[in-house]
């Protein structure tokens, strides 16, 4: 019996927040069955992907659990203030859960330190700025600032994930973690098959190793339509706790038609100057 894994179910940009209830319900029942405390966590995570609420019947179907069992899990969450019912009788996340989550996020030192830089980058380039950390084969977005103008904005979310091998922040952080070509080949061999998100995604060890070597030498990373068509990105390291090992990376993720990657690379000295309070080196070329 497979137990529920919270981080795999509720913390992605493209794999969870964009998945429909129908697609989750179509997964094998045995792979989704949860028991005991895991059921309460699974219920909480499912509520997180239904901001408009979800009915008890639908929740039980998605979780492959009997209605009385899910109802008991909801009762536990409601007692803690982590779930409530909206005017239509559908279940949503409770205000107490949101208060705790946002209080914790706001109090994180890396978030407090990074946010002013992200705000300045988003204001200067009128594109989305992110701060992300590496977690295995994925990056997790800790902070995000959207531009103040522009009809089209990215759908990324704080706490969401993307594959490391096809994002600028991920490749940058991998270049520090994997010190040479041999380490890259070993890392790729130890991962599930790397996902080809677009035709530009590098999914084999040799080309990925060659690019990470370039990133190590120049101190920044780029990606152009490797993770999502129409999007390019430039990333720099953040040295919040060490001068040699980055705690994470900041990036500017841009709509190509509005801000081509070449313009971000041309503005690299300015981007580095803005990011210098985070320990990002200014003079690396």
| pLDDT, averaged across the chain | 85
Chosen domain end from 48, 75, 102: 102
Looking at the fold, whether 46 and 130 belong to one and the same domain comes out as: no
13 pLDDT band, cuts 50/70/90, is: very low
Chosen domain end from 80, 102, 124: 102
Looking at the fold, whether 212 and 140 belong to one and the same domain comes out as: yes
pLDDT digits (tens, 9 = 90+) for 182-196: 999 999 999 999 999
Domain count, the chain: 2
Among the ranges given (30-44, 73-87, 229-243), the one the predictor scored with the smallest mean pLDDT:
30-44
Question: Angle formed by the axes of helices 95-107 and 67-80, to 10°?
Answer: 60
CATH number of the domain within which 208 lies: 3.30.450.40
Looking at the fold, whether 139 and 266 belong to one and the same domain comes out as: yes
> How confident is the model at residue 155, as a pLDDT?
77
**208 domain residue, yes or no:** yes
Helix-then-strand count for the chain, H and E: 13, 8
Residues belonging to the chain: 285
Instruction: Give the pLDDT mean for 164-180.
Output: 97
Q: Which domain holds residue 236?
A: 108-278
**41 domain residue, yes or no:** yes
Looking at the fold, whether 274 and 192 belong to one and the same domain comes out as: yes
Chosen domain end from 68, 102, 136: 102
Looking at the fold, whether 126 and 207 belong to one and the same domain comes out as: yes
pTM of the model: 0.68
Looking at the fold, whether 117 and 212 belong to one and the same domain comes out as: yes
Judge whether 234 and 271 are in contact, CB under 8 Å: yes
Q: Tell me how far apart the alpha carbons of residues 263 and 35 are, in angstroms, rounded to a whole number.
A: 52
Looking at the fold, whether 98 and 123 belong to one and the same domain comes out as: no
Q: Is 119 exposed, middle or buried (0-12, 13-18, 19+ CB in 10 A)?
A: middle
Looking at the fold, whether 232 and 129 belong to one and the same domain comes out as: yes
> How confident is the model at residue 153, as a pLDDT?
75
> How confident is the model at residue 285, as a pLDDT?
46
pLDDT reading at 43 higher than 70: yes
As beta bridge partners, residue 2 has none
Looking at the fold, whether 83 and 118 belong to one and the same domain comes out as: no
Looking at the fold, whether 172 and 266 belong to one and the same domain comes out as: yes
pLDDT digits (tens, 9 = 90+) for 234-261: 999 998 777 788 999 999 999 999 999 9
Q: Tell me how far apart the alpha carbons of residues 35 and 219 are, in angstroms, rounded to a whole number.
A: 47
């Amino acid at each position: 019996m497979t137990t529920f894994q919270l981080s795999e179910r509720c913390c992605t940009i493209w794999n969870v927040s964009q998945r429909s209830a129908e697609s989750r319900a179509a997964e094998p029942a045995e792979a989704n069955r949860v028991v005991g405390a895991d059921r309460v966590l699974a219920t909480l995570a499912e509520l997180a992907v239904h901001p408009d609420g979800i009915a008890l019947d639908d929740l039980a179907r998605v979780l492959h659990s009997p209605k009385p069992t899910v109802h008991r899990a909801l009762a536990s969450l409601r007692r803690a203030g982590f779930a409530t019912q909206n005017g239509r009788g559908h279940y949503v996340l409770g205000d107490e859960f949101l208060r705790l989550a946002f209080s914790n996020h706001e109090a994180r030192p890396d978030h407090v330190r990074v946010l002013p830089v992200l705000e300045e980058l988003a204001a200067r380039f009128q594109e989305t700025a992110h701060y992300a950390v590496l977690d295995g084969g994925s990056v997790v977005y800790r902070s995000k600032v959207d531009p103040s103008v522009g009809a089209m904005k990215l759908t990324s979310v704080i706490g969401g994930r993307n594959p490391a091998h096809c994002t600028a922040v991920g490749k940058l952080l991998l270049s520090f973690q994997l010190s040479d070509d041999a380490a890259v080949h070993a890392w790729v061999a130890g991962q599930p098959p790397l996902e080809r998100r677009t035709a530009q995604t590098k999914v084999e060890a040799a080309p990925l190793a060659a690019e990470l070597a370039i990133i190590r030498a120049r101190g920044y990373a780029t990606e152009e339509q490797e993770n999502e068509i129409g999007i390019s990105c430039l990333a720099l390291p953040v040295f919040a706790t060490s001068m040699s090992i980055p705690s994470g990376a900041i990036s500017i993720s841009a709509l190509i038609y509005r801000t081509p990657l070449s313009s971000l690379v041309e503005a690299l000295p300015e981007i580095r100057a803005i990011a210098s309070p985070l320990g990002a080196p200014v003079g690396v070329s």
